[in-house]
Structure 1
Amino acid sequence: MTVSIGGTNRTFYTAYFALDITDPDAEPKLLWSFSDAGMGLSTSYPTIIRMNPPGSNTCPLTGPCDDVWIAVFGSGATGYEGQIGQTGKFYAVDIKIGPRTGTGVGASNVFTTFPIKSASGGDLNTFVGDLVSVDRDLDYRADAIYGGSVINDGSLPWRGRMYRLTAGGCLTAPCSSSTWGYDLSGSRVPTEVLDNFSPYPSGTAIQAGPMVAAPGIAVDDANKLWLFFGTGRFFGNSDKTNSDSQRLYGVKDSVLSYSCTEGSIDGCKVTDLVNVSDVAVCVVCATGTNQVTSTALSGVEKVEGTDPTTTLQGLVQSKNGWFTNLTATRERSITSPTVLGGI
């Protein structure tokens, strides 16, 4: 928002704040605030990650001597109705240093920006949903940040993509975010986990809907990392009557499952998902009743309640994941799922 007072224009942006609340009996101390002309509204829930070199005798991996803590934000909508008017971005800010050094006209930016690009490298009219990070190998260092997006290319329906921002390895101190993501002609960018995909066993290609909530994350018995999330948005009056079909997803990330290396923006994205919309599972099965039934998935209905579920397990392992349609009119998923006890 820009206002003019006495002939002087002042522009105000939404912001994120870092507060020191170490002493609960003292007043919180403002460490820094972050805003940017390209950030939009501060609607993306941030994630905090830890970076650290592999460690040494003088400074172990779990020690505080070389570690760096970084806050990661996503750019938001450009209007209060959830409008989009700019390219989406991920931002990374060193918590100790803050987003800028110096003051006044001598200040300089020290935060890192990761613009969201299309598969061809062009800009995308989009904003970013809530973020979540994961330490895949449990070495006290984050390996990736995930976040969905809301896309509008000028015509409805609203679309979305799930993105990963890989946190590049830090071999020596000081660690920074400058090596994160995929190198696109000198610009570091996030890459796609899910965009459009082919449903199994049949059907035309499906374009995923808008994704505003952070995914839930789990690792299965085959050492595959899964993301669980839904689609839909609910920002303005037009969303109240929107009846676009939305879905719930469980997808494998091939990059953090160590089966694909980022070589392009969309080279490691999900391509085929099992449609489990008509699958029914009984927890306590009656005598002679199948544990899993489906009219669309061949072979799944042969999994007996007392037999190993090898047919269903084999199908899940051979595909990139699954999806199910939300059936109620105007139903949508706008909250993050919780994964308990694995998959």
Structure 2
Amino acid sequence: MKILTIAGTRPQLVKVAPVSRELRKHATEVLVNTGQHYDYNMAGVFFHELNIPKPDYDLGIGSASHGKQTGDMLAAIEEVVFKEKPDAVLVYGDTNSTLAGALAASKLHIPLIHIEAGLRSFNKKMPEEINRVITDHVSTLLFPPTETAVQNLKNENITENVVNVGDVMYDAVLYNTAIAEEKYNLEQFGVEEKRYTLATIHRADNTDSKEKLTAIFKAFANLDETVILPLHPRTKHRLDEYGLSELTGVGSNLQVIEPVSYLEMLLLEKYAKAIVTDSGGVQKEAYFAKVPCLTLRPETEWVETVEAGCNRLVAPLKEDLAAIIQDFKPTDYSKQLYGDGKASEKITKEIIKYFG
């Protein structure tokens, strides 16, 4: 059995690692890296750190508008499918790489496997929402990570070959946290345990609004402790464009650093006092690390973390973000929201069972 796996962003590469370890025990996997994340610290370093197999195809698509990027990926993936003739195509999450892989497979009548199926923000202004909905509706085998995701699929009349296996990101965190602590330490970042806030800002809804970005960075300046911000290229570009770079200058409590590796990020998350983010994956990693999370979005796919009282949605233009960061007290981390850390094993068993 041959599975063609398509990935291309930092979170997807994190998920590939545990699944590939299990899948390759029972099947031939052909790994395609679309190159959607082209910065080495954001993507390439993961292949080394996480022992991800070298991609069989590196498409090198890079950055572009949504339409062009997806179209370029679709054309390139189609050529690979013609050449490899896989028994199934496997995609992760909700990126343009996911959508391109899903379209290529469905157009060529190749069974599609979707890991992290059923997530919904119910905000169709988010490109990720469009990507995930379309992918789910053309998938053959769907692996939602939570019961909420199962119900979302059921609400859209998708009930066949749907299996809640838990979250592969939890597998990855359990496997890699100890490695991170052996390899890195907080001294290299000049901070102490539980005496800094970790922030990640990259979504267009925040970065493409000068007013919103200003409010976020001024809130960071009002905090008493250090704020560590691994700076996403898009955010850096907008700060320069808006003339806001002085908010990150000398004397500021904001410590701007280059994008960090996945293992470094796990270490920073584990020992942070709080995490402020607009990332989907970081919200879950905060929950796994039992660290308070403030999410700078009007909605989240990971509603379970909010319902458990461990994550809070914040509108930076309407609320005092600095005060919320200082006052937020999570309630309960005891619930097993995302499975038992064996999602990769369960996914592999289900694939083998389905395809024989």
Instruction: Tell me if both proteins adopt one fold, taking TM over 0.5 as the criterion.
Output: no
Structure with the bigger RCO (C-alpha within 8 Å, sep 6+) is 2
Relative to total residues, which structure has the larger strand share, 1 or 2? 1
- The alignment's TM-score, normalised by the length of structure 2, stands at 0.24
- Larger Rg over CA atoms: 1
Question: Which has more helix, going by share of residues?
Answer: 2
